[in-house]
């Protein structure tokens, strides 16, 4: 290996091809047929990999991805990708094995804060056939308590007041679709790749509600003509760190500003509903179906809720990584029982999936120490994730008189985490758009969860009045404060709560 790492670029691919897999398809003119909003690590480890696989099978120039950054912090990934001609490494890690490859399915990266019109024109161009999104669960402007569109959000109010000069995702999408409508162009397909049940339907409902406030005729056109396919996406992908950059530099001899490290497993289930065509993702391993819901519900209620179940209690115990929490015997016991008793009875049959085997695989994936997935990443934006991944199962179980014990324990562990310190007094970082408010309420309420449960935008109006739920959360939270995290977990593992 060279002493000086090779700087990743198109001109260096032939040299790099001797030591690791690189794109072998033509990359001279990658078209902007797919625009993707939110080019984070997950997108680069997931959708981009599927398209890279497909382009190796069929080196057609028809499909490629152009990234779109709408937020100021997207400048960093814009600069990194554009300096590297859209190339970056994905390293799959499991055990002691690292499998690197260079991904080439991204053509360019656009940055809206510096050139709004260029981005809008690209959205409105005939070549744009799909606009996909990974904007996190909190990016859809849903009031978690009511499930309705949050029309009072400052982003929404700002873009309604300035519809031709948008700043948020919904503002850009509405303006772009309106331009296509005015020009007589067919709309692009809007494809959500976020962890939301019925993510395409949620996107349609929220974007249409926004458009209704802006221009009812645009809302009608979107409702009648725009396709919003549902999808389920899955791959555990930690945030890129300097440690990852050092790995690809020292082990593979590549200077890459934005590598992605992830697990080997990946899954993509897609509803086949596209207005202007789509890549043949099924040839790259995606599952194409007419009904994504069983897969979505299984993944959100088991994997995503499982992550919530281990991350807050894990951080309270002083763990940093997911594998540390997942291999703690008491956390593992609570996690598996939550999956088996609190969640599995709610799941429909999933075609081609053995649920027991799926749960075994999930725990093995959580326990993959090579990935080093940080608990703080999993616990980011709990105000969006708890309502989407945990509370729906609680509500369904209350309706049917089923168990909510371990799900309610997860809610209580989030409440204790929101106080901002563990039992040893170590600071717990809270990354959440509502962090200041949640922390203030959590500290004011202490071991009494009443004030947190009264936040209707997260809990609605039913759960705070349900005695079975509130009693379990209250007794668990009190134990966290009085007995500590380890003793409370031990009691939960042995089901010693009322």
| Residue pLDDT, tens place only, 446-472 | 999 999 999 999 999 999 999 999 999
Rounded Cα distance between 316 and 66, Å, is 40
- Residue 386 binned pLDDT confidence (cut-offs 50, 70, 90): very high
Q: Can you tell me the mean pLDDT for 211-239? A: 98
Of 135-144, 252-261, 443-452, the poorest mean pLDDT is in 135-144
Q: What is the pLDDT of residue 497?
A: 61
Q: Can you tell me the mean pLDDT for 41-52? A: 98
| Residue pLDDT, tens place only, 60-93 | 889 999 999 999 999 999 999 999 999 999 999 9
Q: What is the pLDDT of residue 29?
A: 87
In the predicted structure, residue 288 carries a pLDDT above the cut 60:
yes
Q: What is the pLDDT of residue 461?
A: 93
In the predicted structure, residue 498 carries a pLDDT above the cut 60:
no
């Amino acid at each position: 290996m060279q002493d000086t790492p090779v700087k990743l670029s198109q001109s260096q691919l032939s040299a790099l091809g001797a030591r690791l897999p690189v794109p072998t398809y033509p990359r001279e003119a990658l078209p902007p047929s797919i625009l993707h909003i939110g080019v984070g690590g997950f997108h680069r480890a997931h959708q981009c990999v599927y398209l890279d696989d497909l382009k190796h099978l069929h080196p057609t120039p028809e499909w490629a991805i152009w990234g779109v950054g709408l937020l100021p912090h997207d400048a960093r990934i814009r600069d990194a990708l554009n300096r590297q001609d859209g190339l970056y490494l994905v390293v799959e890690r499991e055990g002691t094995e690292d499998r690197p490859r260079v991904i080439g399915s991204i053509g360019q990266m656009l940055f809206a804060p510096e050139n709004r019109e260029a981005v809008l024109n690209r959205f409105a161009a005939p070549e744009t056939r799909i606009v996909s999104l990974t904007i996190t669960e909190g990016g859809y402007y849903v009031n978690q308590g009511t499930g309705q569109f949050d029309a009072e959000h400052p982003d929404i109010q700002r873009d309604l007041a300035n519809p031709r000069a948008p700043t948020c995702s919904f503002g850009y999408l509405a303006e772009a679709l309106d331009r296509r409508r005015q020009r007589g162009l067919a709309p692009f397909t809007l494809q959500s790749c976020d962890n939301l049940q019925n993510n395409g339907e949620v996107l349609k409902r929220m974007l249409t509600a926004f458009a209704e406030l802006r221009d009812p005729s645009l809302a009608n056109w979107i409702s009648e003509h725009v396709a919003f396919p549902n999808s389920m996406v899955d791959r555990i992908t930690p945030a890129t760190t300097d440690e990852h950059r050092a790995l690809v530099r020292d082990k593979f001899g590549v200077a890459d500003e934005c590598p992605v490290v992830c697990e080997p497993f990946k899954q993509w289930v897609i509803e086949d509903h596209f207005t202007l065509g789509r890549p043949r993702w099924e040839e790259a391993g995606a599952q194409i179906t007419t009904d994504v819901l069983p897969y979505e519900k299984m993944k959100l209620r088991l994997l995503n809720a499982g992550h919530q179940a281990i991350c807050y209690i894990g951080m309270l115990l002083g763990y940093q990584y997911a594998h540390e929490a997942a291999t703690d015997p008491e956390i593992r016991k609570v996690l598996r029982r939550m999956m088996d008793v609190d969640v599995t009875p709610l799941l429909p049959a999933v075609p081609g999936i053995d649920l027991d085997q799926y749960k075994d695989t999930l725990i093995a994936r959580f326990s993959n120490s090579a990935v080093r997935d940080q608990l703080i990443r999993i616990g980011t934006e709990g105000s969006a994730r708890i309502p989407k991944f945990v509370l729906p199962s609680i509500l369904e179980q209350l309706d049917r008189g089923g168990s909510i014990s371990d799900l309610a324990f997860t809610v209580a562990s989030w409440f204790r985490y929101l106080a901002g310190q563990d039992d040893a007094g170590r600071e717990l970082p809270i990354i959440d758009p509502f962090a200041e408010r949640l922390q203030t309420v959590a500290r004011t309420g202490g071991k009494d969860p009443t004030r947190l449960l009264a936040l209707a935008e997260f809990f609605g109006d039913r759960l705070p009045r349900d005695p079975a739920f509130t009693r379990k959360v209250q007794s668990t939270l009190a134990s966290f404060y009085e007995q500590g995290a380890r003793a409370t977990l031990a009691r939960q593992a042995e089901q010693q709560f009322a």
